[in-house]
Structure 1
């Protein structure tokens, strides 16, 4: 889909309003033309020169002036003035209506584009986020959306201006086609001169889009990593980098403004030269009608003079449209769904697990990867039991866990739920029954209560309190300034790591998942926090089907099964006692972790 196609698609979402804005523009142009045509006769009539009875005028003027044939000389100026005021009144009402509709359309366009972008970001697979920057996404939803909406609004403005200019051209043609032909040639020269500015505006618009995206990316990265910036005392360095990006963006904006500013003076100079040339040509064309020449040329020049600002506005609008085309191209690429990964959902409902989960000869390679992350993994997790995945970093533990909630689909093999391929289940229904507690717990900048019931917004206050108690979180929550209503800051910055983990466990308890995934939930905690969190995990895991990823082997001694992964393959499966007795991979990992302690065999 091309950038122009995107603009047309946006405009089609409100076609009636778009057409109505053009109708208002046409109405305004007609009333404007009538009013302008009456100005010179009114002025001359007030000065004592009666030109309305002159029959040497072109047919259009004769038809317009014939309205006053039955009006006496004493009341003719009043009649002229009344008609002029009525025409100007309707012209301004039409212009006001067009402006109001244009503003309404702009708001609708921005909302529609942002909705489309937000829907795409919520629907697209996680793999998409591995290849984009957050700053780019924010730039799409803010700067680029606004610029595209401006482009569509400018397109409506261009259509209105073209209609207005055509109305004025029709009036000018009716007055004198010869003078209009000369005017058209002169105006074509002005248009060619403006085309240079329009081409420059397009180039500077591309520079502005790129500079704005670079600035957004760097700002978000710095603010996200502000702790690292301060820890390494890099405030001045980051300030210098961001300051340079600000300068680049403002320079691109300044160049665009210079282009817009140059259009007015160029048009004015060329227009004055065109006026002089037109008077010279008109005098030769009306040499045989010198008595009426002055009246005709005055009316013609007033109409032409009134049309020229619209030509200038058209050139400015074309320049502005060209400047925003770069944004339409970028936004079109962003909204294009054909080149992005989306997870297809099945249609089977899912409520509970009856038998268990089987990883049936699973192999997987990341879309951008050059090696297999998992190879021929064959594991079974019966309902109500716990399967622990252990192994060195990069062995494939987290990858296997990510396949269960269908963040990715296996490259080969299948995950079976009660003997049915996971792909056949409704993906959202299944995910609602899966709880995940990971090492990198995410909390929203909201209250404690809102974070606990995020997975189940309908939870009652009693359910939230009970979940917090079972997660060993109630004690510290009650000490917070506002208890359960205390805001916890961005990503829960007001809480310790152990407190954040316990809130995440409380959140999972409220959600009451059928299947539980624990991804190294205690690996980054101190001894006291680890004990509290482990107690909460034990409470959470009761009577649930649990997949545990463990770095500390002490946390998986009581697992029903332990699978040892190495380079994406399952090399051992068994209980803690069985694997120690074999003296192979698991026993070596255990010996390394407990080298300074006697082995513990519960």
Structure 2
């Protein structure tokens, strides 16, 4: 339960004084409900249904005496008006307390969602390499929803505790012996219910893991829907959804069985205790009607409170794994945090005057492995020139790019910007100076204009068209049904691969970066469009530093410098023709050998 207390502390810190107003409301509701007990005795006596001698119970005798001195009609009217006032007052406070609970719950849930999302985004790139993105989506959607429900249950638990303590106080005033007996059995039954709470927590943990697997699987399937349709793999994926669906169904049914079983046991025990109390009171103590009525009232008021406490604890037990999940995620994000709170818009991008340098750089993703992904990297990338990085798949090209962009920091050696080491102090300034275009272009399910404005929200329409023309995308955008305002579908599915790539390049150029990184960015373009992009890149030389990862020789023929990577090592650096000539000679030697 320490995880629940962790969030309880968070609710208290976030809500502040409003939580105390909520507590006062609970006390008032409980007091109004308790006062109604005292009005039952004179009301029953006045109706004549049952003759009640209130002197048998000293705690309520004064109420009976107060109404005996009044005319019967007046007493009945006063009692009914008081009772009506109590019901209205209780209903009014109950309504406001429910609204206040909802405000506390929803505000805290919103706060928790924003803080979790911020913590994830402020984590470094290494955090995302080690985790699965669908797990973060599951945490932000499913787990936070469950924690929201848990927050409501926690507030209900506080309400139940407040009501229970006040009801116990009132009941103890009426009949100490009876109250102590009910408390004893109630606490005993709650203690025995720990088994149900542990089982509920276990089922909750299984549900959390299944939810993560379900979301991950569905996301992967829809990301690869083209391969599924092309290769007729529908049946295997339908079989998967059937299997995991049955597991989720089984878990939910098991949770319901557990809850209903515990409630059934409570009802059986409740009925047995009630009948035992009445029988014991009549046979052993010859209880009078007033005493029997008080036994019924006290039992009917107190016992449901214990039942409610047990039910809340059991349901919280099922949600505890979600609390644990969010706590672990937050702690992990804090360990990997690379951005502190503050206005990033005030950070000025770095202007590279001379060069970016890697000096004796070593890097590996797992420090427990002996092999380095990159080793002894010593290169210089001149400013305002085009540098191409080539090599086989898995050679370490993308890892080198990640180091140059500050996504990863070297284990040994340094990355320097104009001689200044890249550290956490100037990392964001470097990122603000970079526009990155990946091999797999990412576009949001919105309009062309909204996708472009993502990079520069205050850009004018003229700037948008200028960027589109630079990226050889203006012509096809003009032909779209609504031009800039055309919806392009999920991940830009309504566009061809080449059109998506050109749109992403236009978005990168719109930022007017000092460093443009193209990671196989022209791989999806035909010869004509690639030629257009090459002309764009050529025109940008001298205005920004361009770094290109490419396999096509045509993509890098205008590069001022070519760096070849092989198995994490730099094997040659030089001009385009120099490097290509050496590669051809090496190929001829290997062939003749």
Structure-to-structure mapping, 1:193-212, within 5 angstroms:
194-212=193-211
1:324 paired residue number: 319
Structure-to-structure mapping, 1:460-479, within 5 angstroms:
460-479=460-479
- Kept in 1, the 8 Å contact 2:518–2:549? The answer is yes
Work out the CA distance in 1 between the residues paired with 2:394 and 2:251.
Answer: 45
Work out the CA distance in 2 between the residues paired with 1:432 and 1:536.
Answer: 22
2:155 paired residue number: 156
Structure-to-structure mapping, 1:512-523, within 5 angstroms:
512-523=512-523
- Kept in 2, the 8 Å contact 1:514–1:545? The answer is yes
Give yes or no for the alignment of 1:123 onto 2:122: yes
SS in 1 for 2:130: coil
Work out the CA distance in 2 between the residues paired with 1:527 and 1:588.
Answer: 28
SS in 1 for 2:454: coil
- 1:495 deviates by 1.5
SS in 1 for 2:423: helix
1:531 paired residue number: 531
Work out the CA distance in 2 between the residues paired with 1:47 and 1:477.
Answer: 88
- 1:301 deviates by 1.4
Q: 1:545 to 1:42 in 2, by over 3 A?
A: same
- Kept in 2, the 8 Å contact 1:453–1:511? The answer is no
Structure-to-structure mapping, 1:27-42, within 5 angstroms:
27-42=28-43
Give 5+ residue unaligned stretches, structure 2: none
2:216 paired residue number: 217
- 1:536 deviates by 3.4
- 1:48 deviates by 7.0
- 1:440 deviates by 1.8
SS in 2 for 1:75: helix
Structure-to-structure mapping, 1:229-268, within 5 angstroms:
229-268=228-267
Bigger Cα displacement from structure 2, 562-571 vs 526-535: 526-535
- 1:479 deviates by 0.9
- 1:236 deviates by 1.3
- 1:119 deviates by 0.4
Structure-to-structure mapping, 1:272-351, within 5 angstroms:
272-283=271-282, 286-287=285-286, 293-337=288-332, 340-343=335-338, 349-351=348-350
TM-score, reference length from structure 2: 0.91
- 1:451 deviates by 2.0
1:46 paired residue number: 47
Work out the CA distance in 1 between the residues paired with 2:83 and 2:8.
Answer: 38
1:421 paired residue number: 421
1:353 paired residue number: 352
TM-score, reference length from structure 1: 0.90
Deviations 1:153-176 (A, max 9, x none): 212211211221222222222122
- 1:486 deviates by 0.9
Deviations 1:400-433 (A, max 9, x none): 1111221111112222212211226543332222
Work out the CA distance in 1 between the residues paired with 2:509 and 2:549.
Answer: 19
- Kept in 1, the 8 Å contact 2:350–2:432? The answer is no
Structure-to-structure mapping, 1:342-421, within 5 angstroms:
342-343=337-338, 349-367=348-366, 370=369, 371-421=371-421
Q: How many pairs are equivalent?
A: 586
2:499 paired residue number: 499
Deviations 1:500-553 (A, max 9, x none): 221122112211111121222223443334333333333444532222222122
Q: 1:422 to 1:22 in 2, by over 3 A?
A: same
2:548 paired residue number: 548
Q: 1:205 to 1:7 in 2, by over 3 A?
A: same
- 1:5 deviates by 4.1
SS in 2 for 1:336: helix
Q: 1:448 to 1:7 in 2, by over 3 A?
A: same
SS in 1 for 2:70: coil
- Kept in 1, the 8 Å contact 2:349–2:432? The answer is no
Work out the CA distance in 2 between the residues paired with 1:146 and 1:413.
Answer: 45
- 1:132 deviates by 2.1
- 1:114 deviates by 0.9
Work out the CA distance in 2 between the residues paired with 1:342 and 1:189.
Answer: 47
Work out the CA distance in 1 between the residues paired with 2:273 and 2:479.
Answer: 81
- Kept in 2, the 8 Å contact 1:579–1:587? The answer is no
